[in-house]
Each structure stands twice: as C-alpha cells, then as structure tokens.
Amino acid sequence: MKGKKQESTEKGVIIGRMPIMLRSCSCVLYGKDEEQLAKLGECPLDPGGYFVINGTKKNYFRAGRALSTGNWDVKRFGMHKKGVTDVVARLSYIGTLGNMTKIRPQFEKSRKVSGPRALQPSQFGMLCPCDTPEGEACRLVKNLALITHITKD
C-alpha cells in the first residue's frame, strides 16, 4: 500500500449547518405562487433575500441598503463608497443607453485639473467625445461609444 492514497466515503455525517437565503433557488419557498405561500404561512409580498437563523432575521449582505441609498458602507473594514448604485432613467431608449454606459472616475470634481478631463488618443472609438454633463463633472463623467464592444477576454 505504499504510495497509494486511500479514499473513504461516509454518508450521513453532519459537519456543519449552512443557512439558506430566503426565496433563493435552494429554499423551499422558491417558485411558489401566492396560494402555496399562504398555505405555508408565508407572506406573498415578502421578497426574501435574507437568512433566518435561530428564528431571527439576519441580513448579512446589506445589499438592500446599498441599492436604495447608493452608498456602500462596511464598518468592519472602514470602507465608505458613495455612488455605487444609480437610478436608471428610462425616459427614452437613448437616455437609458447613455445612463447604462456611464463611466465615473474616482476623482474629485472640484479640482480644476485638465488631465483627467481630456479624452486620450487611445480612448477614441471607445468613449464618446460629445456626451458629457455640464457643471463640475464636465468631461469627468464619460460614456462608452455606441460602437464599443466589451468582452471577457
């Protein structure tokens, strides 16, 4: 048996318990209609997205607050980021495309430096030279051009 690995398989051994997020694909409430949820004693208006541990609701990700306020706070690491999320304006198709292709750098808007505001020669064809907001963020907030193609390569 020298040099050979032995494998053993044991079934039914509990090594830990992992909570399941409410209404996730692993939850028994996933895909149930309002009538089935009422039979189980659950509120059909509850969107889920949290854990129930020892009978109390636990929200570990705090994603709901980040999506509603646009600010991402992680006190444990002392991280505070503003403008992580934004409301999509759906007044027109072109306006929606412009809103979803917006690029915001982490640069102070109040500084009057022209370097970050300039469109670099390597950015032509990828960033739109015309679409930019007025005011302090002028030429800091840029949009992707309509011909830009983003890949994972």
Q: pLDDT tier at 145 (50, 70, 90 boundaries)? A: confident
**How do residues 124-143 score in pLDDT, each as one tens digit?**
888 888 877 788 778 788 88
- Give residue 81's identity as a one-letter amino acid code: K
- Tell me how far apart the alpha carbons of residues 85 and 127 are, in angstroms, rounded to a whole number: 21
Mean of pLDDT over the chain: 76
Q: Which helix (H) or strand (E) holds 14?
A: none
- Tell me how far apart the alpha carbons of residues 126 and 117 are, in angstroms, rounded to a whole number: 15
The length of the chain in residues reads: 153
Higher pLDDT, 82 or 3: 82
What does the pLDDT read at residue 150? 79
Q: Is the pLDDT of residue 38 over 80?
A: yes
Backbone angles phi, psi at 99, to 5 degrees: -70, -35
- Which of 120, 126, 128 lies closest to 148, judged by CA? 126
Q: pLDDT tier at 64 (50, 70, 90 boundaries)? A: low
**How do residues 85-110 score in pLDDT, each as one tens digit?**
677 778 888 888 777 888 877 777 77
- Give residue 65's identity as a one-letter amino acid code: R
Residue 83 DSSP symbol: -
- Tell me how far apart the alpha carbons of residues 60 and 144 are, in angstroms, rounded to a whole number: 34
